[in-house]
Structure formats: structure tokens, C-alpha cells
Amino acid sequence: MNTGVRRIAIAVAASTMSLSLAACGALGAASSSEASPTKGNDITVGVLMPEKTNTRYEEFDYPIIKKKVAELTDKQGKTIYANGEANAKKQATQMQQMIDEKVDVILLDAVDSHAIAGMVKKAKDAGIPVIAYDRLAEGPIDAYVSFDNELVGEVQGRSLVEALGSGIDTSDKIVMINGSPSDPNAGQFKAGAMSELNGKVTIAESYDVDGWKPEIAQADMTKAIQALGKGNIKAVYSANDAMAGAAIKAMEDAGMDDLPPITGQDAELPAVQRILSGEQYMSVYKPYPGEAEAAAEMAVTRVQGKDIQFDALATDSVDSPTNKDIPAQLVQVVALTKDNIKSTVVNDGIYTVKDICTAAYASACAAVGLK
Ligand code: GAL
């Protein structure tokens, strides 16, 4: 294990620890302040997710939030859910509906963090707190919970450097496929990655992919292959797994048999399998329970007026383009490679070995001792 990866692994362990301590604190202290809560357990949490192409939101984030809200409210609290499907207007309409329905609090993962600011203000004016989830929405939000997004980019960049090995040369041509310009995380991933890649390789082609759409990423990768020549691409930085899959498709369609190392993010099941088969070099595993449970706790403690517990959940602080010193919790991440599939996604119950090691991957699984 190289030191960078070890540092991150330790950070993950530490964050999981502090998270569970914080959780204990929140639950432990709950009874003492139950005397004068703003609201009881009968609350409604509105949850707005940004897209479906990337499977994490519907498979993990929302179900975990829903379960945690129920658990924290003695099964009396409920969640209502809408997915914006990468359409900012659609999400604004969904948010308006939640305001009209007078939900008690909104967890918002914005399609477009800038465009949604007006709706955040509307919610605030209606007395509904808004907690930004994963992507930092602009406007008067109450708090933010996310992963350490700059670290995500650093982990990706560092992995790519590691994959290129000791023969790495500043003239090595890299193609960069970045996330959506409307998603502030995308800029942070890119900045983190650049901090590791700068001066070590040449970013020969770079694209920002609207809405994180795989079909756009595939077309961009095809353009890059045409511009650079298929033998001249040393590595591909893809900001997430769905786009990595698309870039691999473009390379395979162009007849590139020897795929260069390619990064990803989100530990999606097909990506975990591509890592096993060697088509994708790495992904970033973001421990979803850490983020989603913290969000549920923040939402419930805010509505119930449990300020001390709320503050304990948001000990970091971030600035958005419109607001300063937003209380935040930033959860750590870990590089996912062939070697730690078991200790990450399998141990956390994200996938079973059976999910991953289907017939086509049986020998690859055996080779890394995944059983
Ligand atoms: C980001 C998020 C990533 C990935 C990406 C594409 O905002 O942090 O985990 O899901 O969007 O949807």
C-alpha cells in the first residue's frame, strides 16, 4: 500500500469512528432535550436527488436516508422523494411542490447548484430549512453534508500517476473527462486531480461534460482519439464511473486493444467488475452510509430543534459563492483498486461477492482472492 493510499485509508477509519461517535452523541443526548423539541417525531423530510444515470442516488443515498429518518423518529417520520433526472427545471418544480406541501426540511442534491438558489430562498422564506446534500447549492442553505471532494480528485490524480509508474514523463498525453459545469463538485474533483497531475504529464485534451452524460463523454473521447491518435494516449482521467465506461467504449470502438489506465468514481458495480478485469484502473469509493446517515441526522435534529446535536454533526465549515461559513460535514473517501474490493464495498455491504463475481468475472475474482 503506498503512503498516500494508507493516509486515506486511515482517514476513512478515523472518519467512520468520529461519525459513529457523533451519532452516539446525537442519539444519546436526544432524550435529554426531548422536553422542548421544536417538532416531535411526526416530521416529513423532502429529499431531492439529481439524476438516475449514476446509480448511487437511487440505489444507496435515498434508501439509506429514508431508513435512517425512520430509525431516528421511532418510525413516525417520513420522507418524500423526487429525482430531477439531470434537468434543473424539473428539479425546481419538484422543490416547489415540496414547499407547497409544507415539508419540514429539504435535503437538496442540486442538478444545477447556481440555478436552484432562488428555490432555496423560497424554501427559507417559507420557514423550511434546506440542507445541501453532496453538491453545494447556492442560496441560504442551513448546512452541507458531502464527501471531501477535493480529496476525491487528489485520489484519482495520484492513482493515475501511480499507474503510469516510474517511466512517467511530462510529455505523456492524458485525456481529461470532467464532470458537469453546473455541479460544483466537478470543479473540485478537477482541481484536486490537477494538483497531482500538474507538471508530471501533459493534459492533451480536456472536456467538461454537461450533466455528466455518458453519451457526451463517449463522443468527447472519440474526438480525443481522432485528435491525438490511438497510440498516443497514455492515460484517461474520467471523473466518474459512468463516463469511464463510456470512454472505454469509445476506445474499444476505435480498436484500441491495449487500454491505457483510466480512473473513475462512485464504485458502481460495472466499474468494480471492470477493475477486476483490468479494463478500468480504479474508482473512488465513497462510503455512502456515512454521508446519507449524517444527512438524515442533520435534517431530523434541525427540525426537532436539537441544536447541540446538529452542531456536533457539522463541525466543518464551507463557503459557497453566495454564503459564507456554512456548517458542514465532509466525509472521507478511499481509492478502490483490485486489492481492496473486499475491505471496502463488500465489507460495507454495498455489494456481495456474489453480485460482483458473476461467471464472467469468476477467474478475475479468484486471482485477487475474492470469494
Ligand atoms: C457528483 C457526485 C459524484 C457523482 C457525480 C455524477 O456530484 O459527488 O458522486 O455521482 O456527481 O453524478
**Ligand 1 centroid to 49 CA: how many Å?**
11
Which neighbouring-strand residues pair with 318? 326
Cell 470469494 identifies what position? 371
Given the CA of residue 146, which atom of ligand 1 is nearest to it?
8
Q: Alpha-carbon distance 56 to 323, whole Å?
A: 28
C-alpha 79 chain-centroid distance = 21
Whether 6 has a pLDDT exceeding 60, the answer reads no
Q: What is the mean pLDDT of residues 123-142?
A: 98
C-alpha 15 chain-centroid distance = 16
Contact 242, 211 (CB under 8 A): no
- In terms of Cβ atoms closer than 10 Å to its own Cβ (0-12, 13-18, 19+), residue 89 is exposed
Mutate to test the pocket of ligand 1, among 148, 189, 265, 288 (most ligand atoms within 8 A of CB): 265
The whole model's pTM is what? 0.87
pLDDT (0 to 100) of residue 30: 38
Q: Alpha-carbon distance 13 to 35, whole Å?
A: 35
Atom 10, ligand 1: residue with shortest CA distance: 54
Q: 166: how many CB neighbours lie within 10 A of its CB? A: 4
Helices (H), 1-81: 3-33, 56, 62-72
Whether 39 has a pLDDT exceeding 80, the answer reads yes
Quote the cell numbers at residue 237: 482521467
pLDDT (0 to 100) of residue 20: 40
Beta-carbon-side half-sphere exposure of residue 25 (alpha carbons within 13 Å): 18
Whether 109 has a pLDDT exceeding 80, the answer reads yes
Contact 329, 149 (CB under 8 A): no
pLDDT (0 to 100) of residue 371: 87
Given the CA of residue 149, which atom of ligand 1 is nearest to it?
8
Q: Alpha-carbon distance 111 to 92, whole Å?
A: 9
> DSSP label at 340?
G
Whether 32 has a pLDDT exceeding 90, the answer reads no
C-alpha 153 chain-centroid distance = 11
Q: Alpha-carbon distance 270 to 251, whole Å?
A: 17
User: Which protein residues touch ligand 1 with a CB less than 6 Å away?
Assistant: 51, 54, 56, 134-135, 179, 183, 185, 212, 240, 265-266, 286
Q: 1: how many CB neighbours lie within 10 A of its CB? A: 12
pLDDT (0 to 100) of residue 93: 98
Q: What is the mean pLDDT of the chain?
A: 91
Given the CA of residue 56, which atom of ligand 1 is nearest to it?
10
| Residue 5 pLDDT class (50, 70, 90 cuts) | very low
Q: How many residues does the chain have?
A: 371
* Percent over 90 (pLDDT), the chain: 89
Cell 456536533 identifies what position? 312
**Ligand 1 centroid to 34 CA: how many Å?**
36
pLDDT (0 to 100) of residue 34: 40
**103: phi > 0 → left, psi -120 to 50 → alpha, else beta; which?**
beta
Whether 325 has a pLDDT exceeding 60, the answer reads yes
* Percent over 70 (pLDDT), the chain: 90
pLDDT digits (tens, 9 = 90+) for 282-315: 999 999 999 999 999 999 999 999 999 999 999 9
